[in-house]
Chain A
Amino acid sequence: MTSLTVVGRPDLPGGRPAAAPALELRDISKTYPGTNALTGVSFVLRRHQMLGLVGENGAGKSTLLSIINGTVRPDTGTIAINGEAVRFGHPTEAARHGVATVFQEQGLIPTIPVFENIFLGRETKFTVAGGLRRNAMIAEARAVLEELEVDVSPTALTGALSFGQRQLVEIAKAFALSRVYPVEPIILLDEPTSALSDHETAKLFDGINRWRSRASFVLVSHRLSDVFAICDEVVALKDGHVVDQRPIKSIDEVALHELIVGRQRNAEYYREAVQREPSATVALRATGISKPGHLRGVSFDLREGEILGVAGVLGSGKSTLARIIAGAEAQGDGDVVVEGATLRRGSRRDAIRHGIGFVPAERSVAGIIGTDTVDWNLTLPNLKQIALGFLGLISPRRSRALTVEWMQRLKVRAPGPSAACRTLSGGNQQKIVFAKWLARGVRILVLDDPGRGLDVGAKEDIYSLMREIADKGAAVLLVSDNLPELIGLSNRIMVLRDGVVSAIVETPKDAKPREVDVVSAML
């Protein structure tokens, strides 16, 4: 543990060799069971700069932020703040060094006033004989808010503020650190604009630009436009590695995107050779699917034997579309038609009756019941198959037999059908989610990011499984954040932008488009 050193205001007009950078990461690695979240990550955040951290989902951005702010400990590597090596065992220790995080899902408590949020966990300074000097806290909070020109009363109830205002309060909270500890803040912004309107985003950036001379920032954002709008430098992460760190002026949006996706598409990996031509028969027809705030007039035909990819950035409505087609969410307008029957809106039961299987994105919450056994998970929508005999009771033997059959077909590695599902790896769990529907003989599969959080080997298994399913004539709607996956697997890609179909990109097996061709329709 290092002792606290007081960091004076750095008076370093350009020219002189810069003092130690605000934050420096050297060779940070972190492994979670089954995955290398980060491998040898190093980068430098210079004082009073804004560093953009970009990468796909699962590239390791969140883990990296958690390591910097002390919630996760790295396996190896060092962190230096103002040139001084630090080792955080707890977020409070990171806070003492000025590190504050503005979370994507906000970290403010809605039921208490703004000033209490601003000094939450740092009340020591205002404590006298166990009591809080409320007025001093309010005055100090007001000073911070005014200094930052945030137009919010410190005594306002936090929950009553707009989302954008709360975002500003979060940043004020980070600045308030410097009033409690003698440090200059290092502010980590995790997708700060994902829920903001354009107007609010502009206001936030205005604020940040004014505060730049008093803090250093790391910005994680999916929106490359954000990164180009306010960052000085950008670090591209891919699969837990730093691909490059460079000044933002030396790169354009397309080049940055190539850095992010970076990899060579591997035709073998996606079994492109066995991509089949879809049959002419339409398995599912969607007409004018709309949902206020999410989707507007999305129509498409999904044909038998086809894998139809759906691409789009976060907030494009692609996940909502998957849920609507699967009946897990009701659309405001438009119809889903299967074999001439219009499906009941938002009825998963009706969708299942018409042969639609659904592999949701949130595997642990929506795909798998971790406390139940493998066979109970797999047979949940298949109880009719195993409920024979006296009084229609479920036969545990048939339940296990059916499960073992599918475990073998999908090469699931598990101690057996009676293992608790939560003890399985992510890839094996995902296979169980697939098996649940395959055992039911569904003709249509809706997949929402089926490769999320899986390692390379597990992905490969899932991809060849999808090929097999399509080859047998089932129709697959594949929603994914992963472009190489979409291009490699799909027959066509439907691109969504702000809830509207912005392009249809054909992806025949011998003439796959480049990622940039798809990206241009997404942004």
Chain B
Amino acid sequence: MAEVPATVAKKQGDFNLRTIVLPIIAIVVLVAYFSYVNPLFFSASNALNIGRQSSVLLMVALAGTVVILIGSIDLSVGALVTLTGILAALTVDQFGLAGATLVGIGVGALVGLVNGSLVTMLKVPSFLVTLGMLSILSGVANQISQGQSILFADSLLPDLVNGSFVLGIPNVIWFALIATAVLTVVAFRTKLGRYLYALGGGEIVASHAGVPVTFYKILAFVLAGAICGLAGVMLTGQVGAGTPTAGSSLLLNSIAAVVMGGTALSGGIGGPHRTFLGVLVIAILTNGMDVTEVNSFTQDIVKGFVIILAVSLTIDRSKYLFIK
């Protein structure tokens, strides 16, 4: 099997190099730079800070990855986190931790079901369906909360999320890491995972191979919704209240993280493990600029440049006929 034109083998190597190694290089460079400017950056306690700040983002980015893998997009993820967070705050005192978690995941899955059904049955592009859903969910969240934070008495939820059972690492970080690990296994070692990649890479090929295309597309949205629901509950536990603005920054940051990690918006390439790296880049960048006291307006500008630069380096252009 060795008789391969060298060019083919090389192309293959480049492909892996770019998408896996570049985010890692970015992380190393960022860590080195921020540690140089402020030595406090390079400490165990700041590492935990980074973890705490990015756990919910990682969950949301994972949800986004699932949908982006099939070549669709879910713009309602941030708003869904907000809504499920508020619902969790409203229900946790009455139904307890398990009840609130179920409500969050259930509502998330339901919203995903609606998204997926509209995309597949009515054939409305996912960008528009979920853009509409974003607006609807934000509206509902504001209606319910009347724009106020929802406080609750329960202490089990905040304790579970913010406490630490293992190695002194906050549980919220463990949850996000476990979610990453589980989704990575799902992506590579289950039928569902392979079908997601197949749908994104070649929907017609998948349907010719007997994949029930509609079912798995809807399932991708449902899965994403459920993960967002869980993220909403986690966020409420972390903050100690349900807040109507909590999820607003999550959408753009999560998409940036997914794409920086090397998951193509056209679908079929990338995966949860990549998204983990993408989130790490964004988290380190944000935290580093905080620690080195870059003002928040400048932070946005820098972040924007880094996103464009990173994507221009990692994107695999050979797949695109036109760049729109």
Binding site for B on A (CB under 8 A): 326, 328, 348-349, 352, 358, 360, 362, 365-372, 376-377, 379-381, 383, 387, 392-396, 404, 407-408, 413-416, 419-420, 422-424, 436
Contact = CB atoms under 8 A, between A and B. Distances in A.
Nearest to B11: A423
B201 A348 contact: no
Given A358-B208, A436-B209, A372 B197 contact: yes
Given A348-B210, A369-B201, A376 B12 contact: no
Interface string B197-216: 11011101111111110000
Most interface-central of B190, B210, B211 (chain A CB within 10 A) = B210
Among A358, A396, A413, max chain B CB count under 10 A is at A413
A413 B264 CA distance: 28
Contacts of A436: 209
Given A371-B319, A380-B198, A423-B11, A415 B4 contact: yes
9 contacts: A358-B208, A366-B208, A367-B208, A371-B319, A372-B201, A381-B209, A387-B191, A394-B191, A420-B15
B194 interface: yes
A414 B1 contact: yes
Contacts of B189: 393-396
A371 B12 contact: no
B202 to A, nearest CB: 4
A291 to B, nearest CB: 18
Contacts of A326: 208
B205 A367 contact: yes
A394 B191 CA distance: 7
Given A380-B206, A381-B209, 9 more contacts: A369-B202, A376-B194, A376-B197, A377-B205, A380-B194, A392-B190, A393-B189, A423-B11, A436-B209
A104 B78 CA distance: 46
Top 3 nearest A-B pairs (CB, nearest first) are A369-B201, A369-B202, A381-B209
Contacts of A381: 209-210
Chain B binding site: helix, strand, loop or mixed by DSSP? helix
B269 A414 contact: no
Contacts of B211: 380
Interface string B172-190: 0000000000000100111
Interface of B: 1, 3-4, 8-9, 11-12, 15, 185, 188-191, 194, 197-198, 200-202, 204-212, 264, 268-269, 318-319
Given A383-B191, A394-B190, A419-B12, A360 B3 contact: no
A15 to B, nearest CB: 51
A77 B317 CA distance: 31
Given A387-B191, A415-B8, A393 B185 contact: yes
Contacts of B194: 376, 379-380, 383, 394
A162 to B, nearest CB: 26
Contacts of A423: 8, 11-12
Contact of A360 (B206, B208, B319): B208
Contacts of A379: 194
B12 A368 contact: no
Contacts of A380: 194, 198, 205-206, 209, 211
Contacts of A376: 194, 197-198
Contacts of A366: 202, 204-205, 208
Contacts of B12: 415, 419-420, 423
Contacts of B9: 415
B198 A369 contact: yes
Among B204, B205, B207, find the residue whose CB has the most chain A CB atoms closer than 10 A: B205
Contacts of B212: 349
A365 B204 contact: yes
A436 B210 CA distance: 12
B269 A371 contact: yes
Contact of A365 (B8, B190, B202, B268): B202
A396 B188 contact: yes
A416 B1 CA distance: 7
Contacts of A414: 1, 4
A253 B211 CA distance: 46
Nearest to A389: B189
A230 to B, nearest CB: 34
A319 to B, nearest CB: 14
Most buried by B among A369, A376, A396: A369
A407 B209 CA distance: 19
A369 B71 CA distance: 13
Contacts of A395: 189
A376 B189 CA distance: 11
A348 B188 contact: no
Contacts of B201: 369-372
A352 B208 CA distance: 9
Contacts of B268: 369, 371-372
B321 to A, nearest CB: 12
B8 A352 contact: no
A368 B201 CA distance: 9
Contacts of A367: 205, 208
Contacts of A420: 12, 15
Contacts of B209: 348, 352, 380-381, 436
Given A380-B205, A413-B3, A419-B12, A352 B191 contact: no
A213 B192 CA distance: 64
Contacts of A415: 1, 4, 8-9, 12
